[in-house]
Amino acid sequence: MSRHLDILWFLIISVWLFSCFCLQIIAGTPGISIENENKGKATEQRTHTIGVHEKISGVLSVSESYSASLKLDRHTINTFTVDAKFGESYSNYSVNKTTQVIFVYEYSEDNQTTAVRVNLKCSSASEDFPLMFVARQQESLLSWQIPLEIGDSYSYYSVSRTLCPIDKSHRQSITKDQLIYLSVSTMSNDSVGFDLSVDDLKDFEIEHEVSRSLNLSVSEPMYYMYTFPETVSAVLLKVTSTSHTCMTVSVQKIKCPVFDLETNVNFEGQHQTMSTQAAMFLEKDDFSELGGFYVVFIVKPNNEVCEGYLAPAEILPPGQSEKKKDVRVEIKETISSAQYYKATFAAAGVFLFFYLIAFAISVLYAKLELHKGLDDLTQDEMGHLYVHVNPNFPRALKVRLNINEHRVGTQANENNYLRRSNTSGTYGTISDTSESDRELSHVSFDQTSETSSVSLDESTIDFLPDADMEKEIFRTKTALFVSDLARKNNKKLSKTYKLYYWNLVTISIFYGLPVVQLVITYQRVLTATGNQDICYYNFACSHPFKSYLSSFNNVFSNIGYVMLGLLFILIVYRRDTLHKMLQKKHGDLEKHYGIPQHFGLFYAMGMALLMEGIMSACYHVCPNYSNFQFDTSFMYIIACLNMLKIYQFRHPDINAKAHTAYFSMAVIIFIAVLGVVYGTSVLWIFYALIHMLMSLVLSAQVYYMGRWRFDRHIFKRLFRVILTEGRRCTRPIYPSRFILLLFGNLINWAFALYGAIKQPSDFATYLLAIFIGNLLLYCMFYIVMKLLYKESLSWLVILVILTSMVTWAGSLYFFFQNLTSWGDTPAGSRARNSECILMEFYDAHDVWHFLSAISLFFSFMILLLLDDDLSLKRRDKLPVF
């Protein structure tokens, strides 16, 4: 029995070995040569039978083939090899699941860079079974498919690609005779035809300062090489087009692979989107390895990135509406380092010239005595002034007797006035005592001079039992003079106003340091990623400073704000010092003549101008949507400080406290941020309501000199006033204030309604326009009222006003050039870019910086000099308006 089993096992093993031998013979049988009937000339063809598990070389060993056959069905792939030539079209071939074609191109690599352009068309390929294309070179490999998928909805059936050329550093280590293998295949069961052509690009290099025209399409990205001439250290790449079709321009180092598809162009080098123009400033030091770079052009399938929205007409079958774009490329040399120095020193020199002018005018004033102050009076003139102040002068006795007689006649009226005011507690009752007001307004300034030594400050007024009543008497008179609102201690009041300056210094430090840190981070991100859509520069005139600043000229042009702000602080310091010397020498007279001098707000204005320069410079390190408030924050502060200063001239005792004013400015900046980030319709309507309400509240405070109380009884008092004195509303008690506030409210309500209806895209600029409009209105009102009250303007003030009007007109002209707009897309903003207009270094926005700094300085000087003509006029004769 065991013998039979042994025989059976022997037979089984023999059959198995015989089967293996037969399979091995079958697997090793060579394929049949196929003659290429489609080709006109004889070409050696080879067909290989290979297993499913094909290696990269395309050949399996016998054992591997045998092993695969035990697991999977074997498929035969027929490979046709074609000795192809450059410039010829091959359209008589087709491929399928079992057939692939390899085109072999041979060329000689010499000292010049050789670039090869491959063009492939196929209309019968499908997304499920695309046509696969692989290009193999000695040191690189490139593959793609047809249809080429770009985005979510776009497929292209005609593709052109440039094979990465061998750079000069690698040409020395490779063989001179080069081969390119182009294989075409598909997994489709049906045969798929195609059209292939390969061209040798003779004009692959862009010549220096020679314009080149290109025709681009979405599925045919292109790139060209540029090499720096030996004498050129920096160039400007400029690309222009009349078409608004969106595209990407990229600059990459000369190396393989080149990222020339929409999906990978962001991986290397510098890149920016473009509609009608793009520009890049490129330095030779950044490409020192090979002394050149590739310029890559990629057309986008739609304009969504460049226009911010996707037009419905663009969602069409790509084969029917493939986008084309004609562009013009030029690379030219930029300015030298010497021109950098000339431009920067010239700008600094212009503003240093203002220091010389200020010094010359101060010397001229002193030598020619163009302005006459208390220090410039003769003894006789000084004696005449002391008659109204010092009771020891003989002429003063007669004046004092007249005052005493006047007191007796008006005492009863004053008592009645006080009683009526105390019982009603409303402003309507005050208006009934117009005759008492007139009598009070005629009380001579000499009467108040007797109590000047008492130093009526906060402690001697605000804490007396009748303090509030006394304020209402003086501040609600129909004929109000500066002496009525300059009763507080001058020294203590000056210290209070100095808080404006010191608080602003503190705010600037805490606000400025995070800003500097943030913009430095922006610059580093820009340099690291190469994404030039992050920052909204004027790329056509953007001169970098190494890798630290991408647009040095836009940053440096803010030096005017800094230098002129510092100059204004020095001028204010000089006037402050002279005023303190005058107080020591003629303290009694100074208290009774001219506008009260408080310099705290002037110091704050100079500091705000200086900080505006720093913040504007920080903004221009990387101007964009996120940091625009850095540039405008101190503009709001400048406008507010100017309005506060104008109000302080004639209302020194009742101006806002520093912390209150800055808190209000902080609220304004907060609203500006909300408007920029959440510019919805609800916010615009809410802001309009708040704006109109605050205009009314502020008007009430200004109209009643701060005596209008806002508490829970305000509506009750308002109703009582309307019932008792509604008929008198047509005749305002304070006509000049009423006219100012009427126009002010009309303008502010117009601003508020315009914002709610139109909803401008730039909320920060809209808000700034409101402040500038109010400031101009108040300044014009103040000057007009001065002239109406027969107060003159000195020749210097007139000269400064005229000069500031000219500079403001020029600066606004350059401001509205709109070279950039962060409210637009990066490509849309770039379409506005313009070349440099000053010294080949500064653009129109830089000129705006220069002229606006000068204009602000002159505007500050107007306020500083505006009331110099009143230095010898008694305060009880200076009207309040």
For 486-509, the pLDDT digits (tens) are 888 778 888 888 999 999 999 999
Q: Are 206 and 226 in contact (CB under 8 A)?
A: yes
Give residue 330's pLDDT. Answer: 96
256, with CB counted inside 10 A (0-12, 13-18, 19+), is middle
Residues 6 or more apart whose CB falls under 8 angstroms from that of 678 comprise none
Q: What string of H, E and C letters represents the secondary structure of 656-721?
A: CCHHHHHHHHHHHHHHHHHHHHCCCHHHHHHHHHHHHHHHHHHHHHHHCCCCCCCCCCHHHHHHHH
- Give the pLDDT band (50/70/90) at residue 309: confident
Strand pairing report for 99-108 and 78-83: parallel
Classify residue 243 by its DSSP letter: -
Distance CA 79, CA 102 (A): 7
Of 87-101, 115-129, 389-403, 809-823, the least confident? 389-403
What the block records as the tokens of 649 is 């001239």
What the block records as the tokens of 71 is 């697991």
- Give domain limits for the chain: 205-334, 383-479, 485-677+789-877
pLDDT mean over 861-878: 88
Per the prediction, the chain carries an average pLDDT of 80
Strand pairing report for 99-108 and 177-186: antiparallel
Give residue 877's pLDDT. Answer: 86
For residue 156, give the 3-state DSSP assignment: strand
Distance CA 395, CA 590 (A): 20
**Side-chain half-sphere CA neighbours of 238 within 13 A:** 21
The yes-or-no verdict on residue 225 having pLDDT over 50 is: yes
| CATH fit for domain 205-334, picks 2.60.120.1440, 2.60.120.380, 3.40.50.720, 2.30.30.60 | 2.60.120.380
Query: Residue 104: how many CB atoms within 10 A of its CB?
Result: 13
The yes-or-no verdict on residue 307 having pLDDT over 80 is: yes
Highest mean pLDDT among 383-387, 439-443, 451-455, 825-829: 825-829
Please confirm whether the linkage preceding 257 is cis (ω < 30° from 0): yes
Q: Dump the DSSP string for 274-309.
A: ESSEEEEEEEGGGGTTTTEEEEEEEE-SSSHHHHSS
What the block records as the tokens of 660 is 């209150």
Q: 270: which strand partners?
A: 251
pLDDT mean over 766-770: 90
Distance CA 280, CA 330 (A): 11
Distance CA 789, CA 17 (A): 127
- The string of pLDDT tens digits covering residues 563-619 is 999 999 999 999 999 888 888 887 667 778 888 889 999 999 999 999 999 999 999
Give residue 379's pLDDT. Answer: 60
Give residue 729's pLDDT. Answer: 62
Which tops the pLDDT comparison, 351 or 694? 351
Helices then strands, each counted (H, E), the chain: 26, 21
Give residue 753's pLDDT. Answer: 92
